[in-house]
Chain A
Amino acid sequence: MLIDFFLHLKARKLPVSTKEFLTLLEGLQAGLGEHSMEDFYFLARTSLVKDETHFDRFDQAFGEYFKGIEQIPGLEVDLPEEWLKAMMQKHLSPEEKAKLEKLGWDKLMEEFKKRLQEQKGRHQGGSKWVGTGGTSPFGNNGYNPEGIRVGGESSGNRTAVKVWDQREYRNLDDSVELGTRNIKVALRRLRRFARLGAPDELDLDGTIAATARNAGYLDLLMRPERHNAVKVLIFFDVGGSMDDHVKVCEELFSACRTEFKHMEYFYFHNCVYDNVWRDSSRRHSDRTPLADVMHKYGPDYKLIFVGDATMSPYEILQPNGSIEYSNTEAGAVWLRRLADAYPSMAWLNPEPERTWDYRQSIGIIRKILGEQMFPLTLDGLTRAITHLSRKR
């Protein structure tokens, strides 16, 4: 009977496996979760979810499946009305607005609220989304023309100079393991081994030679183990036009993570300016000045940008061109500084290579960085790696 529950978790993108499900059943059989629903919840969580970052998702999925269970944390819907209104106004075209008039704004809002109330706990992913991928008039990614899109993308208009809604960028989730093997193999070429650290490995050849020299008396030689010595600094573009490419980037990210011992990553939005940040959910409070990054990580780091470089040219060339705050120095200045600081760099672009010539901003960045841009495909990655591992 719990098979549906299991499938439901799968459908909610929780990385659960059959083995773990069997463990849960075994636990139930042993009488572990019998006392209360709460015990069952704890047992299910401890056996199925192995990462605290998935706890929230699990709580929601659990609540959805076992409707009527109260007080599963993390299910409250909290949408400020002002924000909703602004959101709707922004996303509706004049025709749609006219259509809306027919139905009546208040009525729609009322309907919407009612629906929310009914659906309490049945929405998906986070506190802002009313639901995704459905055909109901409410929710994101829907196809109902009268629908309200909540927390949606910025209307598909790529060259908008100002983005009005401050979006909370999702932290790039590095759990995507599927399809990353190819990327890993490509990245592996970047590995360069060097002997570092404490001498704790027996140097057999050296020992034989030394012992022979020692007239047969043993002379043990030790040497440090080989470690991966490549240091990588990665800058990820998040939000805005990059949303389309999140999946590809997540794959890259999850592949990178395990490949290098020294890998530092930062996020930026569209173009680099004075600050970058480590955690995209705390990006407004927790910034790192780019100058600090350049001081801290020396020129032996290899710099990799991942971004579509698609923006309005002003964002690169003009001071105050940033869509987020007024920057005193243009993005181009910072890009040049980075290019000077890191002799070994590459820009990976998820946009197809053939479209590059049609986007002015891509041309500008390629000019600044000197043809070090590669498409984010397996082939492009291989080219980028060859480029990066060239001795300089």
Chain B
Amino acid sequence: MRFEGAENYVTTPDLKLAVNAAIRLQRPLLIKGEPGTGKTMLAEEVAAALGMPLMQWHIKSTTKAQQGLYEYDAVSRLRDSQLGDDKVKDIGNYIVKGTLWQAFEADEPTVVLIDEIDKADIEFPNDLLRELDRMEFYVYETRQLVKARHRPIVFITSNNEKELPDAFLRRCFFHYIKFPDRDTMQKIVDVHFPGIKQALLKEALEVFFGLREVPGLKKKPSTSELIDWLKLLVAEEIPVEALRSPDQKASIPPLHGALLKNEQDMHLFERLVFMAQRNR
């Protein structure tokens, strides 16, 4: 089993190697990178390319590690007991399987995505060490050991909001998706908009990379924003001329709301443009 890249997703050689290492040695792959560089998409694309089902586990600040394994729904059991339901005798009826359990007992190998692991409590990764290492866990309520029939390919994404513990990091492969350079960006856009006019694309990339250079932006526009913006440009049939202005700095690009998503950034940008116009 080898990942050779996907049709809808541009993979750099180092990313390909990291994915293959994770597949081959059956260790989780931790992916970091600026928001919007396609961390989550990677898992989807790998699953699609290898023809494997994808199990997603999205992490929130309240997520507990246990929830990925199973949950014991004590509340409904208590309610059933008050209503005299027969189900109540078997505790197994109240064990709700989590994402990892489902992946462990699947008939075929699966891809598991643990999305934004840094959103959870700092102890969260530590609680999953053994489960990800040995791919097994113990259900205390039913005294049952759940073991993976096929070790799933695990992708973990992080936005760097919290630091992950060393013990956890040591068990993973690590890849940092760096912001694509112009060539890679061109490839990415080509994948998404096969028919786009080259002239328009060139100008759009010019504006985009120019915008990323603006100092002091809170959130620099990223790949996913560029794709959205291009989508809008194409849909609205904006002519190339609208993007091309004699002075890049002195005009606001059309539909810039797709690129800047933050009020302060918008104000800062407008102020800069205003100053540039005044100085002309």
Same complex: yes
A residues engaging B (CB < 8 A)?
15, 17, 19-20, 23, 26-27, 30, 32-33, 38-39, 42-43, 45-47, 49-52, 55, 174, 177, 197-198, 200, 202, 217-218, 220, 257-258, 285-286
Closest beta carbon of chain A to B164's beta carbon, Å: 8
Q: Are A285 and B176 in contact (CB under 8 A)?
A: no
Can you list 21 pairs linking A and B with CB atoms under 8 Å apart?
A: A17-B170, A19-B171, A23-B25, A27-B24, A27-B25, A30-B24, A30-B25, A32-B21, A32-B24, A32-B25, A39-B13, A42-B13, A42-B17, A46-B17, A46-B21, A47-B174, A50-B164, A52-B32, A52-B176, A218-B79, A218-B82
- Inter-chain contacts of A177 with B (CB < 8 A): 166
- Inter-chain contacts of A220 with B (CB < 8 A): 75
Q: Give the contacting residue for A46; candidates B164, B170, B175; CB below 8 A.
A: B175
Q: Closest B-chain residue to A55, C-beta based?
A: B176
Q: Give the contacting residue for B216; candidates A202, A258, A286; CB below 8 A.
A: A286
- Inter-chain contacts of B174 with A (CB < 8 A): 46-47, 49-51
Q: Give the contacting residue for A200; candidates B32, B62, B82, B176; CB below 8 A.
A: B62
* With A17-B170, A52-B178 already in contact, 20 other A-B pairs whose C-beta atoms are closer than 8 Å: A23-B25, A26-B25, A27-B24, A27-B25, A30-B25, A38-B13, A39-B13, A43-B17, A46-B17, A46-B21, A46-B29, A46-B173, A46-B174, A50-B164, A50-B169, A197-B62, A217-B82, A218-B78, A258-B122, A286-B216
Q: Are A45 and B25 in contact (CB under 8 A)?
A: no
Closest beta carbon of chain A to B44's beta carbon, Å: 20
- Max chain B C-beta neighbours (<10 A), residue from A15, A50, A174, A220: A50
Q: B215 an interface residue at 8 Å Cβ cutoff? A: yes
Closest 3 CB pairs of A and B: A50-B169, A52-B176, A46-B18
Closest beta carbon of chain A to B162's beta carbon, Å: 8
Q: Give the contacting residue for A23; candidates B14, B27, B32, B216; CB below 8 A.
A: B27
Closest beta carbon of chain A to B209's beta carbon, Å: 19
- Inter-chain contacts of B170 with A (CB < 8 A): 17, 19-20, 50
| Complex Cα spacing A258 to B125, Å | 14
- Inter-chain contacts of B99 with A (CB < 8 A): none
Q: Closest B-chain residue to A257, C-beta based?
A: B163
- Inter-chain contacts of B82 with A (CB < 8 A): 217-218
Closest beta carbon of chain A to B271's beta carbon, Å: 16
Closest beta carbon of chain A to B34's beta carbon, Å: 11
Count of chain A to chain B residue pairs whose CB atoms are closer than 8 Å in the complex: 72
Q: B172 an interface residue at 8 Å Cβ cutoff? A: yes
Closest beta carbon of chain B to A154's beta carbon, Å: 29
Bin chain B's interface residue count.
20 to 34
Q: Are A285 and B78 in contact (CB under 8 A)?
A: no
| Complex Cα spacing A46 to B32, Å | 12
- Inter-chain contacts of B62 with A (CB < 8 A): 197-198, 200
Q: B54 an interface residue at 8 Å Cβ cutoff? A: no
| Complex Cα spacing A27 to B82, Å | 56
Q: Are B25 and A50 in contact (CB under 8 A)?
A: no
Closest beta carbon of chain A to B176's beta carbon, Å: 4
Q: Closest B-chain residue to A31, C-beta based?
A: B24
Q: Closest A-chain residue to B174, C-beta based?
A: A50
- Inter-chain contacts of B79 with A (CB < 8 A): 218
| Complex Cα spacing A197 to B170, Å | 33
- Inter-chain contacts of A217 with B (CB < 8 A): 82
Q: B20 an interface residue at 8 Å Cβ cutoff? A: yes
| Complex Cα spacing A51 to B172, Å | 12
Interface residues of B in 143-176 (CB under 8 A from A): 163-164, 166, 169-176
| Complex Cα spacing A233 to B30, Å | 31
| Complex Cα spacing A200 to B75, Å | 13
| Complex Cα spacing A147 to B273, Å | 51
- Inter-chain contacts of A42 with B (CB < 8 A): 13-14, 17-18
Interface residues of B in 205-236 (CB under 8 A from A): 215-216
Q: Are A32 and B17 in contact (CB under 8 A)?
A: yes
- Inter-chain contacts of B24 with A (CB < 8 A): 27, 30, 32
| Complex Cα spacing A258 to B174, Å | 21
Q: Closest A-chain residue to B16, C-beta based?
A: A42
- Inter-chain contacts of B172 with A (CB < 8 A): 50
- Inter-chain contacts of A49 with B (CB < 8 A): 174
Q: Are B216 and A39 in contact (CB under 8 A)?
A: no
- Inter-chain contacts of B17 with A (CB < 8 A): 32-33, 39, 42-43, 46
Q: Are B173 and A47 in contact (CB under 8 A)?
A: yes
Q: Give the contacting residue for A285; candidates B30, B166, B215; CB below 8 A.
A: B215
| Complex Cα spacing A17 to B17, Å | 21
B185-215 Cβ-contact flags toward A at 8 Å (1 or 0): 0000000000000000000000000000001
- Inter-chain contacts of B14 with A (CB < 8 A): 42, 45-46
| Complex Cα spacing A123 to B29, Å | 32
| Complex Cα spacing A257 to B161, Å | 11
Q: Closest A-chain residue to B82, C-beta based?
A: A218
| Complex Cα spacing A220 to B75, Å | 9
Closest beta carbon of chain A to B275's beta carbon, Å: 17
| Complex Cα spacing A308 to B115, Å | 43
Closest beta carbon of chain A to B66's beta carbon, Å: 13
B10-46 Cβ-contact flags toward A at 8 Å (1 or 0): 0001100110110011010110100000000000000
- Inter-chain contacts of B173 with A (CB < 8 A): 23, 46-47
